[in-house]
Amino acid sequence: MSPNIPMRKYVIITPARDEEQYIERTIHAVAGQSIRPAQWILVNDGSCDATGEIIDRYAASHAWITAVHRSNRGHREAGGGVVRTFYDGYAKLKSMDWDFLVKLDADLSFSPDYFERCFAEFDSNLSLGIGGGGVYHEVAGQLKLEHTPKFHVRGATKIYRRECWDELGGLLPAPGWDTVDELKANMLGWTTRSFLKLCVSHYRFTGSADGAWRNSIKDGRANYVAGYHPLFMLLKCVRRLARKPYVSGSTGLMYGFLSGYWKQTPQVEDRQLIHYTRDQQIRRLLLQESIWK
């Protein structure tokens, strides 16, 4: 660890389902960190492969790794399922004496100084409540950044400052949880952003386990749950036409959003947060200052 970087106490929670192909890469990346976590809770979410056995093996040889096992629900459940799995791990924290809480996927790798450099970003900006590295995928032998709005931190690698986490009051157990937390943090006066120069290699494309069509529908429904403005959503779908899969991606996004209305899917209960979200989106459409940049 660099001598000028203060020690930070952090804990990690990793939900994992059927990740036998990649999870050891993530374990090796965390075990090799210049600042080791106080505790890492690996939650086997009812995997049908060897994920559980791999977790148990490393937990047996590393005192700071805790294994948690959930029963198999029979299918992968994005959104709410991920959050509930996360909280099963959260309940196993041995101590609440920590500075940062990390939600980390089980199909990632990163440099040995990744968390050290992330914490340096937090130290340089005391209003930063949620952060994380830039998520990159290998395409044709080259790493390509997965682009997101400036305020967004991918759910694969979320770092919460303790004070921000306490103010958030928890995560929404629904699709879009990893955007709702950031919207609320910004509403409360925190800032949120990804550290794009800190590379996190993601071995699955976000949502790839569901397929492109189902993932587009899921994203649209998540936007509905978060209370997105219909006009902002319409223009988002139009812009989506420029990316592959061109028509199906945009159609799935709008279908998922509209289905929230006719299925009467529960939205965020915080009406103040929905008002804030829509106000920020309208400001973006009017080319005014907004968290959407």
Which whole number is the average pLDDT over 259-267? Answer: 93
Q: Tell me the pLDDT band of 102, cut-offs 50, 70 and 90.
A: very high
Model confidence at 1: pLDDT above 90: no
Which whole number is the average pLDDT over 92-115? Answer: 97
Mark 89-125 as b/e (b = at least 16 C-beta within 10 Å). Answer: bbeebeeeebbbbbbbbbbbbbbebbbbbbbbbbeee
12 class by beta-carbon count within 10 Å (0-12 exposed, 13-18 middle, 19+ buried)? buried
Which whole number is the average pLDDT over 175-191? Answer: 97
Q: Tell me the pLDDT band of 166, cut-offs 50, 70 and 90.
A: very high
pLDDT in tens, 206-221: 554 557 788 899 999 9
| Residue 245: predicted pLDDT | 79
Higher pLDDT, 5 or 162: 162
Question: Which residues have C-beta within 8 Å of that of residue 68, sequence separation ≥ 6?
Answer: 41, 42, 43, 44, 88, 89, 92
Residue spans of the domains in the chain: they are 10-202, 211-285
**What is the Cα–Cα distance from 52 to 245, expressed in whole angstroms?**
35
**Contact between residue 278 and residue 229 where contact means Cβ atoms under 8 Å apart:** yes
pLDDT in tens, 34-71: 999 999 999 999 999 999 999 999 999 999 999 999 98
Q: Tell me the pLDDT band of 4, cut-offs 50, 70 and 90.
A: low
Model confidence at 3: pLDDT above 60: no
| Class of domain 10-202 as given by CATH | alpha beta
Of the listed ranges 75-79, 102-106, 279-283, the least confidently predicted one is 75-79
**Rg (alpha carbons) of the chain, rounded to whole number:** 19
Which whole number is the average pLDDT over 111-116? Answer: 97
> What token pair was written down for 38?
């106080």
**What is the Cα–Cα distance from 218 to 223, expressed in whole angstroms?**
9
Q: Tell me the pLDDT band of 6, cut-offs 50, 70 and 90.
A: low
| Residue 140: predicted pLDDT | 80
Mark 138-160 as b/e (b = at least 16 C-beta within 10 Å). Answer: eeeeeeeeeebeebbbbbbbbbb
Give the global pTM: 0.93
Model confidence at 191: pLDDT above 70: yes
Residues, the chain, total? 293
Q: Tell me the pLDDT band of 196, cut-offs 50, 70 and 90.
A: very high
pLDDT in tens, 132-157: 999 999 888 888 998 889 999 999 99
Q: Tell me the pLDDT band of 287, cut-offs 50, 70 and 90.
A: very high
Which whole number is the average pLDDT over 17-37? Answer: 97
How far CA 196 is from CA of 29, 40, 114, 131, 199, in Å, comes to 18, 24, 12, 10, 7
Strand 128-139 to 142-145 pairing:
antiparallel
| Residue 185: predicted pLDDT | 99
Percent of the chain with pLDDT over 70: 94
Virtual CA dihedral for 129, 133, 139, 144, nearest 10 degrees? 80
Q: Tell me the pLDDT band of 8, cut-offs 50, 70 and 90.
A: confident
